[in-house]
Amino acid sequence: MPMKTPRFIQIYQDNAQVVQQELVQGLASNPAHGGATTSPKFLYDALGSRLFEAITELPEYYPTRTEAAIFRTHGDAMARQMPKGATLIDLGAGNCGKAASLFDRFAPARYVAVDISVDFLRGALECLQRQYPALDMVGVGLDFSRTLELPPEAGANDGSPRLLFYPGSSIGNFTPDEALVFLRQAHAACGPVPGSGLLIGVDLVKDTAELEAAYDDALGVTAAFNRNLLLHINRLAGSDFALADWSHVALYNTAHSRIEMHLQSRRAVTVTWPGGHRAFVAGERMHTENSYKWTVEGFADLLQQAGFATPSVWTDAQTTGQGRFAVLWAPAQTP
Ligand SMILES: C[S@@+](CC[C@H](N)C(=O)[O-])C[C@H]1O[C@@H](n2cnc3c(N)ncnc32)[C@H](O)[C@@H]1O
């Protein structure tokens, strides 16, 4: 059988001016309004995506390993609930490795990989197509924090059920209110075909020391990932952040059940960009990422508020007794 070629639909890069405006607005926010902030999506340029891949191999970073173990242990049970001949839509696909590890069990009819980090996604998808030459593959460069409207090439109206896949606890980057909005959009994106639904990985509330180590590893890879954001912003917004002026901070905010990543200025600095500037005092922080931790009950409730049916849940508690991470299958309609 001849090898198929992945198709690419690039939506995100069309909005370069909007991206610049969003960045500058977050950078200019003053301390009375919570201080400078940037969206975690800006952590992912091609280098950011590679650094994230390295993070997943660190001894301190338990989420990827724990989630993979849940798929290994419970993959067959999951597969029995998944729709057959589905369009598998991987939200924030990264290197596409997690979805690919499920192809044999889930046997999708088409694979749609969605990511904001377009160059990295292209490389990953072209490589994956060589391993699965007969599978129809589509790459979509999309910022789904703006909209989860997928292009028709992602299988709309072809009559196949949709299996939305959102692993890695990326949902934790949204506040609970934003997560509900996102899940409502995911529910709509499942479409009307029976059997469609969302398979999602969620990181669970746990001990502060384990959480903080996972986001501030001894090798400093997470620090590099966070600081690389400045190089990415300099390219997107034309700013002049100097790497040497900023250090990585990760702390668990117990009141909000979230890990916060910040960049903290090592001295007083003024950062400029075309048409604006922002002074930071020594020690001032710029908030770069939240990673909310959930309870299984709280997240199952959120899914149902978003319109999904009662989810099936698998956690590592079933094998290790620890309950660090959960994978939930939420059918779009009550079966
Ligand atoms: C934490 S990584 C997870 C990667 C992979 N799915 C995994 O579980 O290992 C988050 C992924 O989502 C992508 N991403 C982050 N924000 C995004 C957005 N607003 N729109 C589209 N993709 C986004 C990143 O580029 C990255 O590949």
Contact status, residue 191 vs residue 159, Cβ threshold 8 Å: no
Q: Is the CB of 52 under 6 A from ligand 1?
A: yes
**pTM higher than 0.75:** yes
Bridge partner residues of 162 (DSSP): 87
Nearest CA to ligand 1 atom 9: 168
Residue 95's SS3 state is: coil
Pairing of strands 162-166, 258-265: unpaired
* pLDDT by position in tens, the chain (length 335): 678 899 999 987 656 788 889 998 999 887 777 899 999 999 999 999 999 999 999 999 999 999 999 999 999 999 999 999 999 999 999 999 999 999 999 999 999 999 999 999 999 999 999 999 999 999 999 999 989 999 988 877 788 999 999 999 999 999 999 999 999 999 999 999 999 999 999 999 999 999 999 999 999 999 999 999 999 999 999 999 999 999 999 999 999 999 999 999 999 999 999 989 999 999 999 999 999 999 999 999 999 999 999 999 999 987 777 799 999 999 999 87
Q: Is the CB of 92 under 6 A from ligand 1?
A: yes
Q: Cβ-count burial of 69 within 10 angstroms (0-12 exposed, 13-18 middle, 19+ buried)?
A: middle
Mutate to test the pocket of ligand 1, among 23, 39, 41 (most ligand atoms within 8 A of CB): 41
CA of 31 to the centre of ligand 1 (A): 29
Bridge partner residues of 140 (DSSP): 9, 114
